[in-house]
């Protein structure tokens, strides 16, 4: 059985009082063991990071960028093996795993331009002989706590920006699929980063709490469920840390009567069922406007779902693979039963799905509900599986109100040919990321990712310039260089209380 290790800047014998099992979701077999670290292990990792950070921060930004350039090339060189490893632990198909890695690399590419983003501001002649300038400096040591659903992309969202600006970083990935994060740290060190700049620790709640409480960690970045995101935000801020905590979602897709119905259905197949629905930017709620639109959409959805191929993660023809664990499969199927009990119409039932030869795998077939209403618990909460719910709206205003009033505000999409409707929707909907005829509106790396309401806690989004601002603090300098004699000029005066 494969043994996963911490990736640390100091010698560690690999022993741990506790271990977790890492499963192959295609067949339910334990394929690896991961050590679950504790506060004492974290103390040593933080000490190593603090020892490395001053020299890393003092390195000029273009040299740090060169490490990122080499890291990017190494990840690309190892793309196939990384994708296969990711797929074997998560269950997403290999092509989807490559997309996971590629979207993370796009943030690395953005961070390769970090010298430009750290230039600061300058004002000459703010007063007689007075110049004022500001600079962005690193926080020190940061930490990231990442979820199982994107074990490559989300770690790179966090650590690429954090280290580019001069911080050292400690990554705590999900214990469900930890191998790819370890490989990313190894490749970063191979790219030329000094020991201690980027480390990986494993663990469960004990390690998470140690990170949130540790006085040597200045900032924490988190992605996961909303309840845990709120917990991370509250506990970390109480400890005096800077925090960005991204939570769950219930993204809606509004389908106007004039939408290109065939394209919309094709988009929904990928957005609702891709990666088995285990994405915070999945589109699990579709809102057709008008009964005729709903009836046409339902007919096409049922036909398209019949063509979806659920297979093992190595099947090149599969549209999606298993969910991550047996417990998660049970949870998704319980939500399907809840939808039935609450009165929704089950149109396509994905429960009980099995593959010959993989009967112990964690597979859930594509599922469709119609006539879902906003008072149903199954509508209010995040299911995080291959389940699509249809909520019928009578008109545009009713459709607009659904994502606006929902407790989550991560992403939303509008499918229409009407420019005025799209403009009105973008202006008024209370959601952080909006797509117009784009079903999964994840912003490109030079913008930023972040939801509203219970989808995001903290004042800064992930990556882009928002990420640079999160991982730095501003220092402003006001300076005067006398010309050798006192002029007595008092035109530049700092107000005081008299």
Under the banding of pLDDT at 50, 70 and 90, the label for residue 496 is: low
- Reported as half-sphere exposure (CB side, CA atoms, 13 A), residue 47 has a value of 7
State the pLDDT at residue 459.
86
pLDDT in tens, 473-483: 999 999 998 87
Residues 220, 306, single domain; the answer is no
Task: Give the residue-averaged pLDDT of 270-293.
Answer: 96
Question: How crowded is residue 344: how many other Cβ atoms within 10 Å of its Cβ?
Answer: 21
Closest alpha carbon to 355 in 367, 344, 365 = 365
- Report yes or no: 173 and 20 within 8 Å, Cβ to Cβ: no
Q: What percent of the chain is predicted at pLDDT more than 90?
A: 94
Domain assignment present for 445: no
Domain assignment present for 332: yes
Under the banding of pLDDT at 50, 70 and 90, the label for residue 158 is: very high
Domain assignment present for 447: no
Under the banding of pLDDT at 50, 70 and 90, the label for residue 493 is: low
pLDDT in tens, 199-225: 999 999 999 999 999 999 999 999 999
Instruction: Give the tokens for residue 473.
Output: 């603090």
Residues 327, 374, single domain; the answer is yes
**The CATH number of the domain where 52 resides is what?**
3.40.605.10
Q: What percent of the chain is predicted at pLDDT more than 70?
A: 97
DSSP strands (E only) in 141-260? 141-145, 168-172, 198-200, 219-223, 242-246, 252-255
pLDDT in tens, 39-54: 999 999 999 999 999 9
**The CATH number of the domain where 429 resides is what?**
3.40.309.10
Residues 320, 289, single domain; the answer is yes
pLDDT at 495 > cutoff 80: no
- Report yes or no: 69 and 425 within 8 Å, Cβ to Cβ: no
- Report yes or no: 281 and 438 within 8 Å, Cβ to Cβ: no
280 catalytic residue (yes or no): yes
Domain assignment present for 109: yes
Task: Give the residue-averaged pLDDT of 338-363.
Answer: 96
State the pLDDT at residue 219.
98
pLDDT at 248 > cutoff 70: yes
Task: Give the residue-averaged pLDDT of 21-27.
Answer: 96
CA gap 303, 347 in Å, rounded? 12
What's the DSSP call for residue 485?
A: S
pLDDT at 497 > cutoff 70: no
* Rg for the chain, CA atoms, rounded: 25
pLDDT at 491 > cutoff 60: no
Residues 216, 307, single domain; the answer is no
Task: Give the residue-averaged pLDDT of 438-455.
Answer: 93
Residues 204, 348, single domain; the answer is no
pLDDT in tens, 285-329: 999 999 999 999 999 999 999 999 999 999 999 999 999 999 999
What's the DSSP call for residue 273?
A: H
Q: Please give the full DSSP string across 141-165, using - where no structure is assigned.
A: EEEEE--SS-TTHHHHHHHHHHHHT
Q: Is the dihedral of CA 368, 370, 374, 377 positive or negative?
A: negative
Question: How crowded is residue 491: how many other Cβ atoms within 10 Å of its Cβ?
Answer: 9
Task: Give the residue-averaged pLDDT of 251-280.
Answer: 97
Closest alpha carbon to 450 in 177, 231, 271, 229 = 229
Identify the domain containing residue 199 by its residue range.
2-247+455-477
Count of the separate structural domains present in the chain: 2
State the pLDDT at residue 84.
97
Domain assignment present for 413: yes
Residues 238, 260, single domain; the answer is no
CA gap 339, 331 in Å, rounded? 13
Closest alpha carbon to 217 in 61, 57, 39 = 39
Residues 337, 469, single domain; the answer is no
CA gap 11, 164 in Å, rounded? 26
CA gap 308, 296 in Å, rounded? 19
Closest alpha carbon to 442 in 464, 425, 421 = 464
pLDDT at 183 > cutoff 90: yes
pLDDT at 153 > cutoff 80: yes
Residues 102, 34, single domain; the answer is yes
Residues 238, 347, single domain; the answer is no
Catalytic residue, candidates 112, 168, 200, 280:
280
CA gap 369, 337 in Å, rounded? 11
Phi, psi dihedral angles at 4 (to 5 degrees): -85, 145
What's the DSSP call for residue 7?
A: B
Under the banding of pLDDT at 50, 70 and 90, the label for residue 11 is: confident
Spatial CB neighbours of 396, under 8 Å, sequence gap ≥ 6: 256, 289, 421, 424
- Give the bridge partners for 136, in sequence order: 474
pLDDT in tens, 115-126: 999 999 999 999
pLDDT at 490 > cutoff 70: no
pLDDT at 139 > cutoff 70: yes
Domain assignment present for 218: yes
Phi, psi dihedral angles at 109 (to 5 degrees): -60, -45
Residues 193, 340, single domain; the answer is no
Spatial CB neighbours of 258, under 8 Å, sequence gap ≥ 6: 416, 417, 418
CA gap 159, 170 in Å, rounded? 8
Q: Is the pTM of this model over 0.85?
A: yes
Under the banding of pLDDT at 50, 70 and 90, the label for residue 14 is: confident
Which of 386, 404, 436 delimits the end of a domain?
436
Domain assignment present for 496: no
DSSP β-ladder status, 472-480 and 433-436: unpaired
Domain assignment present for 398: yes
Task: Give the residue-averaged pLDDT of 369-388.
Answer: 97
State the average pLDDT for the chain. Answer: 95
Phi, psi dihedral angles at 74 (to 5 degrees): -65, -40
Spatial CB neighbours of 452, under 8 Å, sequence gap ≥ 6: 409, 410, 430, 431, 432
State the pLDDT at residue 17.
83
Residues 57, 200, single domain; the answer is yes
Helix (H) or strand (E) holding 98: helix 94-111
State the pLDDT at residue 483.
78
Residues 157, 186, single domain; the answer is yes
For residue 280, how far is the Cα from the chain centroid?
A: 8
């Amino acid at each position: 059985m494969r043994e996963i290790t911490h990736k640390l800047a100091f010698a560690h014998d690999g022993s741990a009082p506790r271990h977790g099992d890492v499963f192959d979701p295609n067949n339910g077999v334990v394929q690896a063991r991961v050590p679950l670290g504790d506060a004492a292990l974290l103390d040593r990792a933080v000490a190593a990071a603090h020892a490395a950070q001053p020299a890393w921060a003092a390195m000029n930004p273009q040299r740090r960028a060169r490490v990122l350039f080499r890291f990017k090339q190494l990840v690309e060189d190892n793309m196939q093996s990384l994708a296969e490893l990711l797929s074997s632990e998560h269950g997403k198909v290999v092509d989807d795993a490559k997309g996971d890695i590629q979207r993370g690399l796009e943030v690395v590419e953005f961070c390769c331009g970090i010298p430009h983003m750290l230039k600061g501001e300058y004002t000459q002649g703010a007063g007689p002989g007075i110049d004022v300038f500001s600079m962005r400096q690193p926080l020190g040591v940061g930490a990231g706590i990442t979820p199982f659903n994107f074990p490559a992309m989300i770690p790179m969202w966090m650590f690429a920006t954090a280290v580019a600006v001069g911080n050292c970083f400690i990554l705590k990935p999900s214990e469900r699929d930890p191998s790819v994060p370890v490989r990313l740290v190894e490749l970063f060190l191979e790219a030329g980063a000094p020991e201690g700049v980027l480390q990986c620790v494993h663990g469960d709640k004990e390690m998470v709490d140690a990170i949130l409480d540790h006085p040597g960690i200045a900032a924490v970045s988190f992605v996961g469920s909303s309840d845990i995101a709120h917990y991370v935000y509250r506990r970390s801020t109480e400890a005096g840390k800077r925090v960005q905590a991204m939570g769950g979602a219930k993204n809606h897709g509004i389908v106007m009567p004039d939408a290109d119905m065939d394209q919309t259905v094709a988009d929904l197949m990928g957005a609702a069922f891709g990666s088995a629905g285990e994405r915070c930017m999945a589109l699990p709620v579709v809102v057709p406007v008008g009964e005729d639109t709903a009836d046409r959409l339902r007919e096409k959805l049922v036909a398209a779902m019949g063509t979806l191929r659920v297979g093992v993660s190595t099947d090149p023809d599969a549209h999606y693979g298993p969910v991550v664990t047996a417990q998660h499969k049970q949870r998704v199927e319980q939500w399907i039963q809840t939808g039935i009990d609450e009165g929704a119409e089950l149109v396509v039932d994905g429960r009980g799905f099995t593959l010959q030869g993989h009967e112990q795998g964690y597979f859930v077939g594509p599922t469709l509900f119609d006539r879902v209403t906003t008072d149903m618990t199954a509508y209010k909460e995040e299911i995080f599986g291959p389940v699509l719910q249809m909520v019928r709206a009578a008109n545009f205003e009713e459709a607009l109100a659904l994502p606006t009033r929902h407790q989550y505000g991560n992403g939303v999409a509008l499918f229409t040919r009407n420019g005025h409707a799209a403009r009105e929707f973008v202006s008024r909907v209370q959601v952080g990321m909006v797509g117009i005829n784009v079903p999964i509106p994840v912003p490109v790396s030079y913008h930023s990712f972040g939801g509203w309401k219970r989808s995001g806690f903290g004042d800064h989004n992930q990556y882009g310039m928002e990420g640079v601002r999160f991982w730095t603090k501003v220092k402003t300098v006001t300076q005067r260089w006398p010309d050798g004699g006192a002029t007595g000029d008092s035109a530049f005066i700092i107000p005081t209380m008299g």
